[in-house]
Amino acid sequence: MNLLVTGGCGFIGSNFIRQRLTEKNSPLRRLVNLDALTYAGNPANLADLAKDPRYVFVHGDIGDAALAARLLVEHEIDAVVNFAAESHVDRSIDSPEPFIQTNVVGTLRLLNCARLHWSKLTEPRKAAFRFLHVSTDEVYGTLGPKDPAFTEETPFAPNSPYAASKAASDHLVRAYQHTFNLPTLTTNCSNNYGPYHFPEKLIPLVILNALEGKPLPVYGDGRQIRDWLFVEDHAAAIWLVLQRGRVGETYNIGGLNEKPNIEIVQTICALLDRKSPRADGKPYATQVTFVADRPGHDRRYAIDCSKLQGELGWAPRENFATGIDKTVDWYLAHRDWCADITSKKYARERLGTAR
């Protein structure tokens, strides 16, 4: 298989690529990583794999149709996995337009290129080609405390500009399958956590702020509930769907770990108290600071992934206790990576303005 991965220098994409290049008996001949290297795309996430002869990195945007079309042909691509997206709700509230440009227009252009490429393939490559679009549970909106979890049949009800942009891209993928018969697959995941997570998100932010003696900000009352999915379990599920999923179908991927945000923060504090105690002996929980809730903050997400489990036999390897333990250990062992991220050193270097 020759695989095109978009957004592969980001959090989930880099974990997916790492799995694919390090697994035994991999079917990959080549893996092309197309990434625009926006603020959350970090080549350091894959630096140790850069010399793998199967790996090709291309700095570029999925909205660049000429580039995408050339890569599909030049590398004889058999499947596309589209991770490329603007993905932070707070940023979408501050400035929605980049989310529309990347998540909607970019996905549209990539779909156009994939359709043209696929249409020219000869059998059996044409029948085997797949376009897998990676999306989020936020397209479904919010749940009440007693509501059943989101299924693949839950109507879309996005509540943030980010969620709306992802819902639009999901609809485009569905339309291309229905109208043009492009062999697509879509996955909608719950909140991810794990290694290489960009520090603006809750879990890495809490870990790093705690270690640096900064406040640990918690929105509102901290009772917002999310279903937490370890990123390596997510990457394995995507690979399984790509290989065995039914064309045109959507598969929800959840961690089966519903937790309120305040419990996440308290768990991290307790782990750090044990693994890296404060010099003054005080608990990290004393740094917790409740802040004003963000606009339109969804109260609860929960994923029903029984379709994925029943059809493809997937199950997460990590529960939250084991996954968060591994995550905290990773951040403690990779303080240099964290320092580069938080100082934006790698971004300045990429722009030629490092000092």
Active site residues: 137-138, 162
* Closest-CA residue to 308 (of 248, 251, 239): 251
| Residue 57, φ and ψ in degrees, nearest 5 | -100, 135
Task: Please return the burial class of 7, using the count of CB atoms within 10 Å of its CB with bins 0-12, 13-18 and 19+.
Answer: buried
Q: Is residue 190 within 8 Å of 256, Cβ to Cβ?
A: no
* Closest-CA residue to 36 (of 3, 17, 9, 69): 9
Q: Is residue 235 within 8 Å of 262, Cβ to Cβ?
A: no
Distance of alpha carbon 10 from alpha carbon 83, whole angstroms: 8
Handedness of CA 254, 256, 259, 263 (dihedral sign): negative
Angstrom CA distances, 260 to 121, 189, 229, stand at 48, 17, 14
Tokens representing 243 are 């290989």
* Closest-CA residue to 204 (of 42, 19, 330, 87): 330
State the CB neighbour count (10 A cutoff) for residue 313: 9
* Closest-CA residue to 161 (of 184, 178, 182, 136): 136
* Closest-CA residue to 314 (of 247, 249, 241): 241
If residue 306 lies in a helix (H) or strand (E), which one and from where to where?
helix 306-312
Q: Is residue 190 within 8 Å of 149, Cβ to Cβ?
A: no
At 124, the amino acid letter reads P
Sheet bearing 191-193, strands edge to edge:
191-193, 225-230, 258-260
The residues that bridge with 130 in the sheet, in sequence order, are 79
